[in-house]
Structure 1
Amino acid sequence: MSIELNATLREDQGKGASRRLRHTNQFPAVVYGSGKEPVSITLLQKDVKHKLPDESFYSQVLDLKIDGKSENVLIRDIQHHPYKLEVMHMDFIRVDMNKVVHVYSQLHFSGEDVSPGAKTEDGVINHVITEVEVVCLPKDIPEFIAVDLSEMHVGDIIHLSDLKLPEGVEVLALKLGEEHDTAVVGMHIRKVVEEVEDEAPEAPDAPASEGDEAAEEGGDSE
């Protein structure tokens, strides 16, 4: 089930108009692509704010209703407020449901704690990438791609070609050739860093002053 967003057409444009929108808990956005003219729209903060923590929001096809008329879109860009959970601006790109799209899908890693490498070989996981660009029809866009680490030993590496992909989904890099089959995650032995305390050298005895030598000589003469 696609995520729905409601929007209205926006006529006023420019920094001043955008500032006024934000003062009313709205924000500007634009929709473009599919050979159609770009359309400026307005969305409510409350309609978007609670969706921001959901990572699938950024990669799934959205049902954007502009004054009641539906458009299938993907989020192309989003500008967040520097310190509030609010949106400053969004770019949407129109999607043809019958044509493949390129999207980034998050990688979800699991099983590290039960892997032989972690349990008995003092291994530690090194995540090389956490997302991957895939090619598929809009209906096949995965919410995420699961990566199972439960069988990993020290020295093992999982490459792009090892990923278990949903049907109809391909990794873009692999379509470019075997030389693009890069590492996703590896396991290596934990490095133990020994902290060595530097021992301060003992200070040499200070040479006796002339006054001290004279006092010693005087003492000997008594």
Structure 2
Amino acid sequence: MEITILATKREGKGTGASRRLRRASKVPGVVYGAGQDAVSLEFDYKALFLQFRHEAFHASILTLDVEGKKESVLLRDYQMHPVRNTIQHIDFQRVSATEKIHVKVPLHFINQDTAPGVKTGGGIVTHILTEADVSCLAKDLPEFIEIDLGKLELGESIHLSQIKLPKGVEFVQLAHDNDASIASIARPRVAVADEAAPDAAAPAAE
């Protein structure tokens, strides 16, 4: 999914200028990195928010079009209004074609309902991670990583080391010897509690 973001250069800076932009339905922002100067930008709020809602906006290489000049960028930071949940400020980082990037990529889980631990074991799937930090060149960045739970038994977990990644992509945590769990299947707590509870009816029957 290719996403192009339109922006114009922003002259005014400071809290007052940003407040005036927001009143005019604009979002202040900045683009930086790749050995170039940071550039202050402004975005149309409605157009930006429509793109912001897509998962790919947060974990893909985006095309930033600043008054006709295009460059590849990543979303690096944003601030939301605590009450209205509107975008207050947004930061993008330029991407180099020859340097590896670190990006948090969403995890998509499949075959949860058909996993033996769920289908025959009556277990419940717990998603321990919903995204993972990967390192790769921009051209190799996956939009998401698929996690197949189809063979997971009751009481088992799946770890980062068990996931087959696209060529050129690696988990940052594994590079630091952290083979984190991604998901697990466990018995429901209610069922465990019922099995552990004493049989209160037995004394009454006697």
Q: CA deviation at 1:24?
A: 0.9
Is the 2:107–2:130 contact (alpha carbons within 8 Å) kept by the matching residues of 1? yes
1:190-209 matched pairs, under 5 angstroms? 190-191=188-189, 192=191, 193-194=193-194
- Pair 1:185 & 2:183 matched: yes
1:143-182 matched pairs, under 5 angstroms? 143-177=143-177, 180-182=178-180
C-alpha distance in 1, partners of 2:66/2:27? 14
**What residue identity is the alignment partner of 2:133?**
E
Question: Could you tell me which residue of structure 2 aligns to residue 27 of structure 1?
Answer: 27
- Pair 1:38 & 2:38 matched: yes
Question: Could you tell me which residue of structure 2 aligns to residue 86 of structure 1?
Answer: 86
Q: Give 1 or 2 for the bigger CA radius of gyration.
A: 1
Unaligned runs of 5+ in 1: 197-222
Q: CA deviation at 1:52?
A: 2.0
CA root-mean-square deviation:
1.9
Q: CA deviation at 1:85?
A: 5.5
- Pair 1:51 & 2:51 matched: yes
2:51 counterpart SS class: coil
Q: CA deviation at 1:83?
A: 4.0
Question: Could you tell me which residue of structure 2 aligns to residue 134 of structure 1?
Answer: 134
1:61-140 matched pairs, under 5 angstroms? 61-84=61-84, 86-140=86-140
C-alpha distance in 1, partners of 2:82/2:60? 24
C-alpha distance in 2, partners of 1:50/1:166? 29
Is the 2:3–2:51 contact (alpha carbons within 8 Å) kept by the matching residues of 1? no
C-alpha distance in 1, partners of 2:64/2:111? 37
1:113 counterpart SS class: coil
**What residue identity is the alignment partner of 1:176?**
H
C-alpha distance in 2, partners of 1:49/1:136? 27
2:151 counterpart SS class: coil
**What residue identity is the alignment partner of 2:116?**
P
Is the 1:49–1:85 contact (alpha carbons within 8 Å) kept by the matching residues of 2? no
**What residue identity is the alignment partner of 2:24?**
T
2:52 counterpart SS class: coil
C-alpha distance in 2, partners of 1:20/1:3? 27
Count of residue correspondences: 195
**What residue identity is the alignment partner of 2:78?**
I
Is the 2:123–2:188 contact (alpha carbons within 8 Å) kept by the matching residues of 1? yes
Question: Could you tell me which residue of structure 1 aligns to residue 204 of structure 2?
Answer: none
Is the 1:155–1:187 contact (alpha carbons within 8 Å) kept by the matching residues of 2? yes
* TM-score, normalised by the number of residues in structure 1: 0.82
State, as a whole percentage, how many aligned pairs show the same letter: 41
Deviation by residue 1:160-196 (Cα, 9 ceiling, x = unmatched): 011121222111111223xx11211111222323499
C-alpha distance in 2, partners of 1:121/1:97? 47
Is the 1:147–1:164 contact (alpha carbons within 8 Å) kept by the matching residues of 2? no
Deviation by residue 1:24-64 (Cα, 9 ceiling, x = unmatched): 11011011111221111111112211112211101111111
Question: Could you tell me which residue of structure 2 aligns to residue 204 of structure 1?
Answer: none
1:51 counterpart SS class: helix
C-alpha distance in 1, partners of 2:86/2:187? 42
C-alpha distance in 1, partners of 2:83/2:118? 38
Unaligned runs of 5+ in 2: 199-206
**What residue identity is the alignment partner of 2:153?**
H
Question: Could you tell me which residue of structure 2 aligns to residue 14 of structure 1?
Answer: 14
